[in-house]
Amino acid sequence: MANQSWRKNMSAPNEQIVDALRASLKENVRLQQENAALAAAAAEPVAIVSMACRYAGGIRGPEDFWRVVSEGADVYTGFPEDRGWDVEGLYHPDPDNPGTTYVREGAFLKDAAQFDAGFFGISPREALAMDPQQRQLLEVSWETLERAGIDPHSVRGSDIGVYAGIVHQDYAPDLSGFEGFMSLERALGTAGGVASGRVAYTLGLEGPAVTVDTMCSSSLVAIHLAAQALRRGECSMALAGGSTVMATPGGFVGFARQRALAFDGRCKSYAAAADGSGWAEGVGVLLLERLSVARERGHQVLAVIRGSAVNQDGASNGLTAPNGPAQQRVIRKALASAGLTSSDVDTVEGHGTGTVLGDPIEVQALLATYGQGRDPQQPLLLGSVKSIVGHTQAASGVAGVIKMVQSLRHGQLPATMHVDAPTPQVDWSDGSIELLTEGREWPRNGHPRRGAISAFGASGTNAHMILEEAPEEEPVAEEPAPAGVVPLVVSAGTAASLAAQAGRLAEVGDVFLADIAGTLVTGRAVLGERAVVVAGSTEEAVTGLQALARGESAPGLLAGRGSGAPGKVVWVFPGQGTQWAGMGRELLEASPVFAARIAECETALARWVDWSLTDVLRGDADLLDRVDVVQPASFAVMVGLAAVWASLGVEPEAVVGHSQGEIAAACVSGALSLDDAAKVVALRSQAIAASLAGRGGMASVALSEEDATARLAAWAAAWRSRPSTGLRPW
């Protein structure tokens, strides 16, 4: 007995040990799964789901950007005359002449100072203190979200990150007449570090907000940091890019003394005639998302970031001098990040500032990396967008990305401009690299199209990023619904902006109207100035939109100003009396959503009725004379219409109904299942048909309650004299 007792006493600790081991094994499995998920996320491609930009030459978006780049258009103009610069006294041909520059032209943003402060709820005084770089970044960030089909109002409180490259901090507004102006407002308005925070604050974004200043590599470093943050789960989406507006001519004056600017103001990337850089302005913003998340959310993938890397020159032959070995290291690091070899990349969008020192060093680094181990018949193709839009400094890296994304999408590699001959300071035979002096097709050489972008900052911080064309999407077998009349809803902050937006929409071309209408309703913010163009064809849509752009009237066009904050939506479901033969017939053909919901209603009703809902809706007028048919049919149409509105993003705060409309309201709200609602409406209408039809009546009269009561007074008195009856107003 004692031995048995001892064994019994020992069993409890043994069981505890076994339980502890089991728990430990489970935790080990969980940690292994978590580590595997983290490892997968760390290597997952990041999708570019939207882009917006403004660059010189009237570029207002990626489409304009591609047109200018593919055509090799010249975007340079004389110095702007609306910034308070001494344009007449700024030029002098002698580089050593103090306070002047030997350059006459640059690539400037037109109307860079214009800003719709009221649109963002910013006071005129605060707007005056804001650096135009902050203003431009805010506007283009808004456009980037809308181009992704995301209402910027809908992301408030989300964990979207903001990563912005800003270099210039020389904005000094004239504050005469603003004696009470707060120094804090001025400090915040001109601080580069506030640029990303202002975007996050204005849009209500709660992910990381980081401003990057690594000089010329700022925006590419910002995009790299955003991609890393997405992979680490620090944010679900990220806005990333850069902004450059030159508030003063200081850059032209200072670099002229160093003889670092091209005499004609234009970058001659990798050319024998290269004689310096060409200053330019611009702003570009990308919207990034992990590829798996983008697919889940149904966002269009423009391209994917396969890998990227950032490093530093360290102690080298000069703080601002390019460092070839460091450039080689960052390229190899980016390839390792992407899990690729040098021959897996077809082209490089180079830094290519057009300087006598920098370009040869960059080409030599490319020859030592991408130029080795390649098929001589498939050399690395090298180009630089700076030869077209200029050196946009903090916005140059994102300009290279936008160019590469558009090249991937169009299957074209644009020419590098202003190249008389490849620079002779490089032995091009040391590797397999070819300078893109002419535009050409971009074939798929046994793998998806891939291109890389380089950006090297005067700070010594280098960045290199590898993009790949978007993966092919699964073909959609669904046929588009037949074209019908659709509303094109347009809104803007001002009447002028509304007209401008209508003009842009009118130029979209021959596209499926329902797609545009859906995006305008669900993917754009609803603003104060509003208009709707009701159109049944592309021609009607263009006519209405062009009239709106001109401020004219047209059939199907209605415009006006909203009455303030939108009210809450209530759906009202009526009783019978407004039905007609063929009600819902055209919608059955035009709307897959309506047709699917009607089919569900027909299935739910089939158990309780001896007629076909589809036959009734397609025009069996005789059946509509029966109350046990018209009420279930009207119920089904209302439930179907509710599904159509919901598919367009219209959701009610409340529902009300009368008669069979009450049953439809209960179904749509979720108070009744479709099966239960179908049973109620069918059996109720059958009971009415069997025992109440023809035994009473209802009337609608256009009288006030007082007039109706007066006219019914005689009958009311008679009814009141009866023991158990009464008359009450409805």
**728 has a pLDDT exceeding 50:** no
**461 has a pLDDT exceeding 70:** yes
**What is the pLDDT confidence band of residue 726, given thresholds at 50, 70 and 90?**
very low
What's the rounded mean pLDDT across residues 145-169? 95
H/E element holding 427? none
Planar angle of CA 282, 285, 290, nearest 5 degrees: 155
* β-strand partners of 305: 46, 467
Closest alpha carbon to 409 in 69, 42, 44, 181:
69
More confident of the two residues 474 and 128: 128
Residue type, 85: W
What's the rounded mean pLDDT across residues 451-470? 97
**Per-residue confidence (pLDDT) for residue 177, from 0 to 100:** 59
Closest alpha carbon to 278 in 354, 374, 169:
354
Condensed to tens digits (0 to 9), the pLDDT of residues 552-611 reads 888 888 888 876 666 789 999 998 877 777 788 888 988 899 999 999 999 999 999 988
H/E element holding 305? strand 303-312
**What is the pLDDT confidence band of residue 688, given thresholds at 50, 70 and 90?**
confident
Condensed to tens digits (0 to 9), the pLDDT of residues 226-276 reads 999 999 999 999 999 999 999 999 999 999 999 999 999 999 999 999 999
Tell me, which fold does domain 486-561 have in CATH?
A: Alpha-Beta Plaits (3.30.70)
d(CA 182, CA 193): 19
Residue 143: C-alpha distances to residues 62, 100, 200 (Å): 11, 37, 14
* β-strand partners of 55: 59, 282
What's the rounded mean pLDDT across residues 19-47? 75
More confident of the two residues 699 and 555: 555
* Superfamily of 46-469 according to CATH: Thiolase/Chalcone synthase (3.40.47.10)
* CATH 3.30.70.3290 domain extents, the chain: 486-561
**222 has a pLDDT exceeding 90:** yes
- Sheet with 529-535: list strands edge to edge: 486-492, 529-535, 557-561
**What is the pLDDT confidence band of residue 279, given thresholds at 50, 70 and 90?**
very high
The yes/no answer on whether domain 577-691 falls in CATH 3.90.550.10 is no
pTM: 0.78
Task: Find the helix packing angle between 538-550 and 495-506, rounded to 10°.
Answer: 150
d(CA 613, CA 631): 11
Tell me if residue 241 falls in helix, strand or coil. strand
**Per-residue confidence (pLDDT) for residue 615, from 0 to 100:** 85
What's the rounded mean pLDDT across residues 338-354? 97
* CATH 3.40.366.10 domain extents, the chain: 577-691
Please provide the average confidence, as pLDDT, over all residues in the chain.
89
Specify whether the CB–CB gap between 125 and 39 falls below 8 A.
Answer: no
* β-strand partners of 434: 381
**651 has a pLDDT exceeding 70:** yes
Condensed to tens digits (0 to 9), the pLDDT of residues 652-667 reads 999 999 888 999 999 9
Half-sphere exposure in the Cβ direction for 559 (13 Å, CA): 22
Least confident of 39-48, 319-328, 529-538: 39-48
* CATH 3.40.47.10 domain extents, the chain: 46-469
d(CA 297, CA 301): 11
**Per-residue confidence (pLDDT) for residue 475, from 0 to 100:** 63
What's the rounded mean pLDDT across residues 211-232? 98
